């Protein structure tokens, strides 16, 4: 069972045009890499370099595409959560919100406790496949230690494939070392993909120092890179949606070439996170139908032209609160993302206010939206049995399907909501005329209450805490 | 329509070539430079500001107006005498150390310039030392710090701390802005003001200078 069509905005010829446009820009304008190490890697491999600008040839691109895997396995600390990246519609936690929001306390700057809570929700969720990263940025911890503390909370509260943080070389090494300690097997990472990291280009046509240090370090350790330009059409990219898709493609391919030069075969996910600009404020428009249309074009490039695993940013909204706007913008984005063939999605778990905020209640509601979208992605059973001719003939003109054996056997497989209310009016009124947000508020608290104290065994927990204390010193 | 009104209208409409021609014509005819600025060029921006705030004008239109204005200013400014230039209207601005993002900062620069401020733009990845040196060199009364990343916004505090240490804290008002920055963050790092957008930055700077 699967949908028979994908959402597409480009023809086959267009894919080639975008690719040729990308090659021309890479060759003639080049990309600025703000890192000596990165520039040296390009030089050593024969790229033309002027200062920090690297000009990339068709041959280098072809070579990189030849070594980048189309799918790969990502190992979880608990093997039952291991995943294959490059198929399905995997969900990862949000990245970047600085505020946390709930019905009881409103919007506030997030703390490390909120960070841990979101990790617990991700671990408990049947729709969330990856954990870690920065679903909320904790404001109450020292910035130098933040990465250590976030990684500790992620490891303590989850055992799914983990996503780390973009940082400098030393901090990246420390987070990967912590993952290895939690796995209990030194050197395990070199042979297994266990940790991913989200990195963004510095649009237009550049890469910042920390980004490059992170990419290089992850590649050296054979870990996964989720490379996502976040371009705003009309602000940091062309006003033409196709033009922004071209720029997005160009930046991604430049990053892909670097990663494959560092360590051929390093898994890289062609991730798309661009939007149209909101021209009244020169910011980005999270709730725009055009945002996903840009990424739809890019997903076609990643999937059909380059044969890379693809990810998109879907489930986003500009609404400040969990209201009607939040609902329709989130669903518009999420559904378009899935229908465009994305194999992974980010910012799909409770974001509000253009990814400035994560809402506890919306996290729970978005889980249901994901279940809806995943159900849609399955299409319908088209087997002979599903044609149901015998059932239709048996029931004939006067019978009921409600008591037919075929219904009895299958009815539980029909999709049912987990937080939406489908009951009748008087029941709804009788139980307090509750808004979905109120039910979601109860639900998230319940999940947190039931979350285990820790998923680490005592010896590993101790080793991690020791590691953090040592790392804090230098 | 008087030349002043015409000039203001060209600025409002973002017609840089027409602003340049008319400003030159007015200068050649012996017009007073200060008047060309205050009765013509800046009036044009005064039309733009409320329209932008009301959501009638969009950022690309405001930027065209600001560009048109600067075409005129480039002609008139060299003709101003020392007394005309209010030294106190100098603003130092930059994106803090470790951060290379400058779209928002550049927007603030244009809006400030269009408000008649003398803006010294230090660019991106500006070290605390550079900010301090610039405050001393330009005798600025306002310092603007920008950051986009949660990892770099803490360098606002580092910068402000150095300004304090150098004994310059009472000489300047410090304004901060950027996507992850908030009013409470501004208070926490010891800034004087948080600016949600470029217009807010201009208004706050104007308030502090008056």
HSE (side-chain half, CA atoms, 13 Å) at A372? 19
CB atoms within 10 A of CB B166: 16
Q: Is A142 on the interface with B (CB under 8 A)?
A: no
- pLDDT confidence band for B113 (50 / 70 / 90): confident
Out of A96, A109, A208, the one facing B100 most closely (by C-beta) is: A208
Q: Is A140 on the interface with B (CB under 8 A)?
A: no
Note the pLDDT tens digit of each residue in B127-158.
999 999 999 999 889 999 999 988 888 899 99
Give the pLDDT mean for B195-199. Answer: 89
Q: Is B20 on the interface with A (CB under 8 A)?
A: no
CB contact under 8 A, A282 and B107: yes
HSE (side-chain half, CA atoms, 13 Å) at A303? 26
Q: How many residues are there in chain B?
A: 210
Q: What pLDDT sits at residue B85?
A: 58
CB contact under 8 A, A143 and B154: yes
What's the alpha-carbon Rg for chain B, to the nearest Å? Answer: 18
Q: What pLDDT sits at residue B135?
A: 94
CB contact under 8 A, A235 and B197: no
Q: What pLDDT sits at residue A272?
A: 96
Going through chain B in order, the beta strands assigned E by DSSP cover: 90-95, 118-121, 142-146, 173-177, 193-194
C-alpha A381 chain-centroid distance: 29
Distance, CA of A332 to CA of A288 (rounded, Å): 9
The token pair that represents A225 in the structure block:
């890179």
Distance, CA of A41 to CA of A51 (rounded, Å): 13
C-alpha A88 chain-centroid distance: 13
The dihedrals phi and psi of A36, each to the nearest 5 degrees, come to -60, -40
B88 pLDDT higher than 60: no
- For B63, the closest chain A residue by CA position comes to A282
Mean of all residue pLDDT scores within chain B: 91
C-alpha B125 chain-centroid distance: 19
Assess contact for B22 and B7: CB atoms under 8 A.
yes
Note the pLDDT tens digit of each residue in B24-53.
999 999 999 989 998 999 899 889 988 988
Q: What pLDDT sits at residue A183?
A: 94
Strand partners, B177: B146
| Strand order across the B193-194 sheet | B118-121, B90-95, B142-146, B173-177, B193-194
Distance, CA of A413 to CA of A429 (rounded, Å): 29
Out of A208, A209, A279, the one facing B59 most closely (by C-beta) is: A279
Quick one: what percent of chain B has pLDDT higher than 90? 63
Q: What pLDDT sits at residue A474?
A: 65
b (16+ CB within 10 A) / e for A155-186: bbbbbbbbbbbbbebebbbbbbbbbbbbbeee
The token pair that represents A13 in the structure block:
């010829």
Strand partners, A50: A53
Q: What pLDDT sits at residue A323?
A: 98
For residue A214, list chain B residues with Cβ-Cβ distance below 8 A: none
Distances in Å between the Cα of A251 and the Cα atoms of A22, A63, A204, A271 are: 9, 17, 8, 11
Q: Which of A98, A115, A284 is the best mutation test for B, with the most CBs of B within 10 A?
A: A98
Beta-carbon contacts of residue B65 (< 8 Å; ≥ 6 apart): B11, B12, B13, B14, B44, B45, B48, B114
Q: Is A106 on the interface with B (CB under 8 A)?
A: no
- pLDDT confidence band for B80 (50 / 70 / 90): confident
Beta-carbon contacts of residue B86 (< 8 Å; ≥ 6 apart): none
Burial label, A385 (beta-carbon count in 10 A; 0-12, 13-18, 19+): exposed
Q: What is the dihedral of CA A199, A201, A202, A205, to 10 degrees?
A: 170
H/E run at residue A31: strand A31-33
For residue A139, list chain B residues with Cβ-Cβ distance below 8 A: 185
Distance, CA of A259 to CA of A267 (rounded, Å): 9
Assess contact for A230 and A198: CB atoms under 8 A.
no
Mean pLDDT by 10 residues, chain A (474 residues): 92 98 98 98 97 98 98 97 97 96 96 98 98 96 92 98 96 96 92 97 96 98 97 96 98 98 98 94 92 97 98 97 98 98 98 97 98 97 96 94 94 96 96 96 98 97 97 81
- For A236, the closest chain B residue by CA position comes to B103
Distance, CA of A35 to CA of A212 (rounded, Å): 7
Q: What pLDDT sits at residue B205?
A: 93
What is the maximum alpha-carbon separation in chain B? 55
Q: Is B182 on the interface with A (CB under 8 A)?
A: yes
pTM recorded for the entire structure: 0.92
Distance, CA of A255 to CA of A239 (rounded, Å): 23
């Amino acid at each position: 069972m699967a949908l028979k069509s994908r959402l597409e905005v480009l023809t086959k010829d267009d894919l080639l045009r975008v690719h040729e446009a990308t090659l021309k820009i890479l060759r003639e304008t080049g990309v600025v890499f703000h890192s000596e190490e990165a520039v040296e890697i390009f030089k050593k491999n024969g790229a033309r370099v002027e200062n920090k600008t690297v000009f990339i040839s068709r041959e280098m691109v072809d070579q990189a595409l030849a070594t980048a895997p189309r799918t790969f396995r990502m190992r979880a600390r608990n093997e039952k959560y291991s995943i294959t990246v490059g198929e399905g519609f995997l969900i990862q936690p949000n990245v970047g919100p600085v505020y946390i929001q709930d019905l009881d306390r409103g919007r506030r700057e997030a703390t490390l406790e909120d960070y841990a809570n979101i990790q617990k929700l991700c671990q408990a969720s049947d729709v969330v496949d990856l954990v870690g990263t920065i679903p909320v940025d904790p404001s109450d911890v020292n910035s130098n230690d933040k990465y250590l503390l976030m990684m500790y909370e992620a490891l303590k509260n989850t055992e799914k494939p983990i996503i780390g943080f973009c940082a400098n070389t030393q901090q990246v090494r420390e987070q990967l070392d912590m993952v290895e300690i939690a796995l209990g097997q030194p050197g395990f990472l070199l042979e297994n993909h266990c940790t991913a990291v989200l990195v963004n280009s510095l649009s237009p046509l550049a890469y910042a120092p920390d980004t490059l240090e992170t990419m290089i370090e992850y590649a050296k350790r054979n870990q996964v890179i989720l490379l996502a330009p976040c371009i705003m059409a009309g602000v940091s990219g062309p006003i033409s949606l196709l033009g922004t898709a071209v720029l997005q493609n160009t930046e991604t391919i430049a990053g892909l070439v670097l990663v494959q030069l560092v360590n051929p075969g390093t898994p890289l996910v062609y991730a798309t996170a661009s939007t149209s600009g909101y021209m009244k404020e020169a910011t980005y428009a999270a709730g725009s139908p055009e945002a996903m249309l840009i990424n739809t074009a890019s997903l076609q490039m990643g999937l059909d032209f380059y044969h890379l695993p693809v990810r998109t940013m879907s489930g986003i909204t500009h609404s400040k609160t969990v209201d009607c706007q939040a609902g329709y913008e989130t669903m518009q984005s999420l559904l378009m993302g899935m229908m465009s063939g994305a194999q992974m999605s980010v910012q799909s778990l409770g974001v509000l206010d253009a990814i400035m905020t994560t809402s506890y209640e919306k996290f729970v509601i978005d889980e249901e939206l994901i279940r809806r979208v995943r159900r849609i992605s399955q299409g319908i059973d088209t087997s002979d049995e599903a044609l149901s001719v015998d059932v239709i003939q048996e029931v004939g003109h006067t019978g009921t399907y409600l008591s037919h054996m075929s219904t009895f056997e299958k009815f539980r497989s029909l999709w049912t909501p987990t937080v939406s209310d489908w009951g009748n009016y008087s029941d709804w009124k009788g139980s307090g005329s509750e808004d979905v947000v109120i039910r979601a508020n109860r639900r998230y608290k319940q999940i947190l209450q039931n979350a285990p104290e820790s998923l680490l065994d005592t010896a590993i927990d101790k080793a991690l805490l020791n590691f953090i204390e040592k790392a804090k010193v230098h | 329509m008087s030349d002043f009104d015409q000039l203001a209208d060209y600025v409002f409409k973002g017609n840089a070539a027409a602003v340049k021609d008319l400003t030159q014509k007015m200068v050649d005819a012996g017009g007073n430079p200060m008047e060309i600025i205050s009765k013509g060029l800046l009036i044009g921006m005064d039309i733009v500001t409320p329209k932008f705030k009301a959501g009638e004008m969009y950022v690309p239109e405001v930027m065209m107006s600001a560009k048109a204005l600067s075409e005129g200013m480039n002609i008139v400014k060299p003709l101003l005498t020392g007394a005309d230039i209010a030294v106190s209207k100098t603003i130092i601005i930059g994106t803090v150390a470790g951060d290379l993002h400058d779209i928002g900062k550049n927007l603030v620069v244009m809006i400030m310039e269009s408000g008649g401020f003398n803006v010294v733009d230090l660019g991106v990845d500006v070290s605390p030392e550079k900010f301090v040196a610039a405050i001393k060199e330009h005798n600025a009364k306002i310092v603007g710090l920008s950051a986009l990343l949660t990892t770099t916004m803490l360098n606002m505090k580092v910068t402000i701390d150095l300004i304090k240490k150098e004994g310059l804290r009472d000489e300047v008002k410090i304004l901060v802005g950027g996507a992850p920055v908030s009013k409470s963050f501004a208070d926490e790092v010891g800034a004087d003001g948080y600016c949600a957008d470029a217009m807010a930055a201009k208004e706050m700077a104007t308030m502090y200078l008056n």
